[in-house]
């Protein structure tokens, strides 16, 4: 199959490209390297060194004997994306090409606008390109469980059957996103649903939980093939952050009461889910949603898992509660349905102490690259400054 991966230089995009290439697909990737640019702007970086895309592609050819072609540009550029679609004629597009961080979207007006422009306008531009150039193509779009928020009812997979004043209908599940990033993903979902209903396109919206881990079968082949490991307060995910803090002796930063519960999955399972979606495409005109996660944890449960796992290998770990920079329910009901991918054959890798210890070992090898000042939360959902003593100490003028 001819597959085009948008965001192919990213945390998930690069492992996906290698996995699909290894399966014999004809893979092309698109990226404008904005993720690398954003890290430079914030003086942060991946804990594990990441080679330039061209070097990764050369290494993949050397290790596997398979080719991956690349295009450098932005999907917001209509002329560029139309040319790529014409050149590659993809049968499937895997769309990771977006700004992926909730804190980033809440830093400032500029960051909010960049998030919405990149995500909403980029995806809308892509939809027009698909309509005009490859209308039979299957769009596999990475969404997020954060679109739903934390409702007091079970979260269904994209749609819900409701009865109102004696009549029934199946409608999109109500959305209550908690950041401007998550709101941009809601806009994406509505635009894609529209394109399927009105233009007859087809798409699978993968509402993904929080991903953890860095190793896949392909990244393990050669250190030049590794993917990102982000732990900073803007782009890092909670488990990555906790594991880095455990290794360097920093208290685990639990925001608020720690009762926030979300869906999680291993990076290996992300690749499984994408493969299953590709191998079981919807009909033309169909828009479907899969909730893509394997387990649910609260922040406090994850902190305890990391504390316990780290103690077993000799790290002394303190769990500390910090003022929550976000506006969110800290104790809430959370029960999301995730049966569709399991029905297609997903075999989950569950999170446990063995995997956490493996992550700690990886971090230990690169601990000299940890940028400690980038860990503590500094981005507020509401205007004002966080009352975190460690941050205040960093801002205080140094004596001459």
Respond yes or no: is residue 16 known to be catalytic. no
Q: Which of 96, 181, 212, 315 is catalytic?
A: 181
Q: How far apart are CA 280 and CA 273, in angstroms?
A: 11
The DSSP output letter for 397 is: P
Q: Nearest CA to 68 among 116, 20, 109, 112? A: 20
User: Is 322 among the residues known to form the active site?
Assistant: no
**Under 8 Å between Cβ of 79 and 128:** no
H helices of the chain, in order, are 13-22, 34-41, 53-64, 78-88, 102-106, 109-116, 122-133, 180-199, 238-248, 267-279, 299-312, 339-344, 353-365, 389-395
* CA distances to 208, 269, 349 from 292, in Å: 4, 9, 13
Instruction: Considering the candidates 11, 16, 96, 185, report the single residue annotated as catalytic.
Output: 185
Nearest partner of 209 among 288, 255, 273, 253, judged by Cα: 273
User: Any catalytic annotation for residue 92?
Assistant: no
The b/e string for 301-330 (b: 16+ C-beta within 10 A; e otherwise) is ebbbbbbebbeeeebebebebbebbbeebb
- DSSP states of 289-306: EEEE-SEEEEHHHHHHHH
Smallest CA-to-CA distance from 119 within 7, 275, 233 is with 7
The secondary structure element, H or E, covering residue 172 is strand 167-172
| Catalytic residue of the set 144, 204, 227, 379 | 144
Catalytic residues: 144, 181, 185
């Amino acid at each position: 199959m001819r597959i085009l991966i948008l965001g192919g230089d990213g945390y998930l995009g690069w492992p996906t490209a290698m996995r699909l290439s290894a399966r014999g697909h004809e893979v092309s990737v698109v990226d404008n390297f904005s993720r690398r640019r954003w890290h430079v702007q914030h003086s942060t970086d991946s804990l594990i060194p990441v080679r330039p895309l061209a070097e990764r592609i050369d290494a993949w050819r050397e290790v596997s004997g398979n080719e991956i072609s690349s295009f450098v540009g932005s999907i917001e550029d209509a002329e560029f994306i139309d040319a790529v679609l014409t050149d590659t004629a993809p049968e499937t597009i895997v769309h990771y090409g977006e700004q992926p961080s909730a804190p980033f979207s809440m830093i400032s007006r500029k960051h909010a606008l960049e998030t919405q422009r990149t995500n909403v306008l980029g995806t809308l531009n892509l939809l027009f390109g698909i309509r005009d150039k490859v209308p039979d193509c299957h769009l596999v779009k990475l969404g997020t469980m954060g679109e739903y928020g934390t409702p007091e009812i079970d979260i269904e997979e994209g749609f819900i059957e409701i009865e109102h004043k004696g009549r029934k209908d199946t409608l999109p599940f109500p959305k209550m996103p908690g950041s401007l990033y998550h709101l941009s993903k809601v806009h994406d979902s509505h635009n894609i649903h529209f394109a399927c209903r009105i233009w007859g396109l087809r798409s699978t919206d993968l509402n993904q939980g929080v991903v953890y881990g860095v190793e896949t079968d392909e990244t393990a082949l050669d250190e030049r093939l590794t993917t990102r490991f982000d732990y900073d307060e803007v782009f890092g995910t909670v488990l990555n952050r906790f594991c880095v803090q455990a290794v360097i002796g920093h208290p685990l930063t639990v925001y608020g009461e720690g009762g926030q519960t979300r869906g999680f999955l291993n990076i290996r399972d992300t690749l499984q889910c994408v493969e299953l979606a590709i191998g079981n495409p919807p009909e033309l005109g169909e828009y479907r949603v899969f909730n893509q996660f394997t387990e649910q944890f609260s922040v406090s449960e994850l902190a305890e898992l990391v504390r316990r796992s780290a103690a077993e290998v000799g790290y002394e770990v303190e769990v500390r509660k910090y003022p929550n920079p976000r506006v969110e329910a800290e104790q809430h009901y959370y029960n999301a349905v995730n049966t569709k991918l399991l029905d297609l054959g997903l075999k989950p890798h569950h999170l446990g102490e063995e995997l956490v210890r493996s992550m700690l070992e990886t971090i230990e090898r690169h601990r000299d690259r940890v940028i400690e000042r980038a860990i503590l939360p500094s981005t507020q959902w509401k205007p004002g400054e966080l009352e975190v003593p460690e941050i205040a100490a960093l801002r205080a003028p140094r004596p001459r």
